[in-house]
């Protein structure tokens, strides 16, 4: 272990937990896209619905609180799905879903830029796993022609590092043509896309063409947990075969209450927050010539040490923006992962641009 740790230090890729928070810094880094994690309304309303502290066991034993049933029904209706199963985190949802459906007869075709949790879910499965080039329909189709059925195509609707938006309509059509099942991780599209924040699949009208969608609550909704939405058969299958669901302690009632309150708030306020977020995205793009059309705005700066130095300068200016370096991203693709929120201001973007491009030119 020590040898591997020393190797990571020498490569300049050392990770450590922060020793203290940064409440005084302006947030341009978190996934709290709509500012819901700061909501006193959610906290206070959820507190009134809470009747105990812990879940006491898994959902198949003592942890299946009465709030689960109504909440899962509401979430499935909201996302225009037949059914829903709540997991403790988005990471666990991807592990639980992919490990369960990835039987040895199956094939996973996955976009090269999918999240680490999808990679880890594939590792836990028995399926054959083959990549296709990022957002490349021709590459996907070549894989589909040669792949052994049943086939599952794995994508994100908005990619967590690059901020790229998947061509979900075209991918769904291609999957239908070749008889493949589409699984979409909507983590970064939940709340941000769709008329009321239902996600990109609903916005594009392809929800009926998906086998499963994963929606997380810890980003735009500002709370904790995740859900897999799909058919009733899929839910029954996961309850019986998804080990990360079966063998983990359920969420406590306070977490369920916060999820319910966050969804109610989203239904009321989604359009307002999305409009403001759209204004900031347009402003940021005008200042940086970015081509990304979502809240995740990567600024690529080559060289780990150079990138970390600029990130330090940004922090000194009062802004919180993080450097993304290998192994999270490929070497040569180091970047500042700028995240815009509906509560940010244009002058904060101006300050960031000034610090970044001043240091770039020097």
Whether 261 and 300 share a structural domain: no
- Whole-model pTM: value is 0.94
Percent of the chain clearing pLDDT 70 (strictly above): 98
320 and 177 inside one domain? no
Task: Decide if 4 is inside a domain.
Answer: no
For residue 69, being part of any structural domain is answered with: yes
What CATH number is attached to the domain comprising 75? 3.40.640.10
Residues 118 and 140 in one domain: yes
When mean pLDDT is compared across 19-23, 121-125, 154-158, the lowest value belongs to 19-23
Query: Is 13 within the bounds of a domain?
Result: no
93 and 27 within one domain: no
**Does residue 290 lie within any of the structural domains?**
no
Please write the tens of the pLDDT for every residue from 25-61: 999 999 999 999 999 999 999 988 888 889 999 999 9
Residue 131 domain flag: yes
Do 108 and 214 sit in the same domain of this protein?
yes
**Number of domains within the chain:** 2
| CATH number, residue 329 | 3.90.1150.10
Read off the pLDDT of residues 303-350 as tens digits, 9 standing for 90 and up.
Answer: 888 998 999 999 999 999 998 888 888 777 889 999 999 999 999 999
For residue 321, what are the domain limits?
19-34+296-339+341-361
Q: Give the pLDDT confidence of 17-34 residue by residue, as tens digits.
A: 876 556 689 999 999 999
- The answer as to whether 9 is a domain residue is no
302 plus 322 within the same structural domain? yes
Indicate whether 195 and 148 sit together in one domain: yes
Residues 198 and 102 in one domain: yes
HEC secondary structure over the chain: CHHHHHHHHHCCCCCCCCCCCCCCCEECCCCCCCCHHHCHHHHHHHHHHCCCCCCCCCCCCCCCCCHHHHHHHHHHHHCCCCEEEEECCHHHHHHHHHHHHCCCCCEEEEECCCCHHHHHHHHHCCCEEEEECCCCHHHHHHHHHHCCCCEEEEEECECCCCCCECCHHHHHHHHHHHCCEEEEECCCCCCCCCCCCCCHHHHCCCHHHCCEEEEECCCCCCCCCEEEEECHHHHHHHHHHCHHHHCCCCCCHHHHHHHHHHHHHHHHHHHHHHHHHHHHHHHHHHHHCCCCCCCEEEEECCCHHHHHHHHHHHHHCCEECEEECCCCCCCCCCEEEEECCCCCCHHHHHHHHHHHHHHHHC
Tell whether 224 and 349 lie within a shared domain.
no
Residue 333 falls inside a structural domain: yes
């Amino acid at each position: 272990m020590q040898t591997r740790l020393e190797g990571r230090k020498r490569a300049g890729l050392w990770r450590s937990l922060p020793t203290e928070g940064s409440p005084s810094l302006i947030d341009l880094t978190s996934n709290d896209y709509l500012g819901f994690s700061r909501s006193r309304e959610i906290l206070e309303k959820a507190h009134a619905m809470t009747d105990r502290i812990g879940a006491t066991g898994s959902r198949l034993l003592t942890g299946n609180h009465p709030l689960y049933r109504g909440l899962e029904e509401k979430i499935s209706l909201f996302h225009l799905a037949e059914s829903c199963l709540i997991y403790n985190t988005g990471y666990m949802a991807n592990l639980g879903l992919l490990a369960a459906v990835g039987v040895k007869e199956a094939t996973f075709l996955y976009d090269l830029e999918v999240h680490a949790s999808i990679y880890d879910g594939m590792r836990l499965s028995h399926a054959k796993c083959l990549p296709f080039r990022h957002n490349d329909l021709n590459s996907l189709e070549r894989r589909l022609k040669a792949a052994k059925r049943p086939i599952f195509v794995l994508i994100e609707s908005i990619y967590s590092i690059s901020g790229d938006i998947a061509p979900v309509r075209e991918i769904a059509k291609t999957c239908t043509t070749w008889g493949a099942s589409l699984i979409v991780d909507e983590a970064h599209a939940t709340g941000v896309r769709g008329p009321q924040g239902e996600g990109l699949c609903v916005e594009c009208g392809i929800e009926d063409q998906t086998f499963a969608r994963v929606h997380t609550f810890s980003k735009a909704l500002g709370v904790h947990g995740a859900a897999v939405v799909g058919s009733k058969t899929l839910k029954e299958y996961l309850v019986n075969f998804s080990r990360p669901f079966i063998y983990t302690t359920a969420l406590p009632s306070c977490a369920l209450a916060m999820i319910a309150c966050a969804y109610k708030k989203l239904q009321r306020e989604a359009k307002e927050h999305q409009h403001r977020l759209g204004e900031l995205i347009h402003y940021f793009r005008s200042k940086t010539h970015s081509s990304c059309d979502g809240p995740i705005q990567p600024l690529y700066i080559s060289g780990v040490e150079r990138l970390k130095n600029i990130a330090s300068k940004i922090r000194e200016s009062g802004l919180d923006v993080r450097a993304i370096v290998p192994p999270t991203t490929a070497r040569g693709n180091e970047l500042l992962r700028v995240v815009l929120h509906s509560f940010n201001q244009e002058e904060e973007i101006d300050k960031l641009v000034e610090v970044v491009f001043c240091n770039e030119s020097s």
